[in-house]
Amino acid sequence: MDVIYRYDPFAPIVPREIPDSESAIDRLLQGNQRFADMVHAIQQRTLGEGTGEPMVLPLCPVSLGLPLFQGAVLNQAPFALVLGCSDARVPTELVFDQWLNDLFVLRVAGNVLGTACLGSLHYAARHLGESLKVVVVLGHSKCGAVQAAVATYLSPRNFSDIAYTFALRTLIDQIQIAIRGSAHALRDVAGPSIAQVPDYESLLVTTAVYVNAAVSALELRRELDQRGFDQPVVTGVYEFETLSVQALPGVPGPITEVGTRLRPGPSNPDELSQYAKAVAEAALRARDSSPPSTGH
Ligand SMILES: [Zn+2]
């Protein structure tokens, strides 16, 4: 299968038009769908399926965020700010199929907020506020930082082994609020015995990556409100199995259905608790509908 990038200098130039947050979210979701479709097409070919027709991707310097002429320098004008995890498997631009000058990205393990991260956010809110239409917190499934935080929650005795430096402990500590919230939500939905099931740790991680993104979104909301930046903060989780950004565990809804892929982050602790419950329910449903784990 050939994947061809094609630039036609005589094709009409289509400028990027993202007037509001809805079109910004749509652009991100369309991009994520393109990325998933591309990978699925490649995977089908691996199995000898699919047409094998070349895939032609038209390119234009303007839509790529590149200057048309040598020596020109573009102003910085991202349409979205994304707080994501450092995980090498989740490169922000690729997952959303976006290019240069599209995203202002903060990446830190566990997508938590630290001082330097907040400084970047304050800079962006003040200097890029005109072009930024949406703020996204992007978690991902099987996040190592969340797994470490869950492990310390379930086995506090191992805390110093897992979080073996002060800096690492600071990071893991920040995720604990999401782990506790997720544990509460799972207990509320399935009863106290849920903590005894063999796959409880995995359930807790699944739930906590979503809740952790929402916790960061709530913090971001508060920070941005103080700075008069009123564009929406939305959250989602990139799932390795589906390649999709989604708002709840399980099979993702269509990208046209508002809130199934990226949904508004909580604006207060009650909304956070409600969301945690919805995630716990979805995580339990997804686990009941998937084939039994082999333990690997
Ligand atoms: Zn991660």
In this prediction, residue 271 carries a pLDDT of 98
Distance between Cα 151 and ligand 1 center (Å): 15
Q: Which residues surround ligand 1, an ion (CB under 5 A)?
A: 85, 87, 143
| pLDDT, position 15 | 81
Ordered structural domains, the chain, with CATH: 67-289 (3.40.1050.10)
Q: Say how many Å lie between the CA of residue 140 and the centre of ligand 1.
A: 6
**295, pLDDT greater than 70:** no
Q: Is the pLDDT of residue 296 over 60?
A: no
| Residue percentage of the chain with pLDDT more than 70 | 98
Give alpha helix (H) positions in 4-143: 21-46, 92-95, 115-127
**Residue 80 CA, ligand 1 centroid: distance in Å:** 20
Separation of CA 184 and ligand 1 centre (Å): 22
State the distance from the centre of ligand 1 to the C-alpha of 149, rounded, in angstroms. 11
Average pLDDT score, the chain: 93
- Find the 278 Cα to ligand 1 centroid distance in Å: 22
Q: How far is CA 75 from the centre of its chain?
A: 26
Tokens at 148, concatenated: 């470490």
How many whole angstroms from 76 Cα to the centroid of ligand 1?
A: 27
Query: 108: CA distance to ligand 1 center in Å?
Result: 8
Write out pLDDT tens, residues 217-248.
999 999 999 999 999 999 999 999 999 999 99
What residues have CB less than 8 Å from 25, skipping those under 6 apart? 134, 234, 262
Q: How many CB atoms lie within 10 A of CB 171?
A: 18
CA of residue 88 to ligand 1 center, whole Å? 9
